[in-house]
Amino acid sequence: QVQLVESGGGSVQAGGSLRLSCAVSGATNGRNCVGWIRQAPGKGREGVAAIYAGDGTTHYVDSVLGRFTISQDNGKNTVYLEMNSLKPEDTAMYYCAAGPAFPLCILGTSRNTPYWGQGTQVTVSS
pLDDT of residue 21 exceeding 90: yes
- C-beta neighbour count of 121 within 10 angstroms: 12
Q: How do the residues of the chain divide into helix, strand and coil, expressed in percent and rounded to 5? A: 10, 50, 40
pLDDT bin (cut points 50, 70, 90) of residue 29 is confident
CA neighbor of 67 nearest in space, from 89, 98, 97, 41: 89
Whether residue 19 contacts residue 82, with contact meaning beta carbons closer than 8 Å, is answered with yes
pLDDT at 89: 96
pLDDT at 74: 83
Beta-carbon contacts of 55 under 8 Å, excluding residues fewer than 6 positions away, are: none
Q: What is the pLDDT of residues 31-78, one digit of tens each?
A: 899 999 999 999 999 999 999 999 999 999 999 999 999 999 988 899
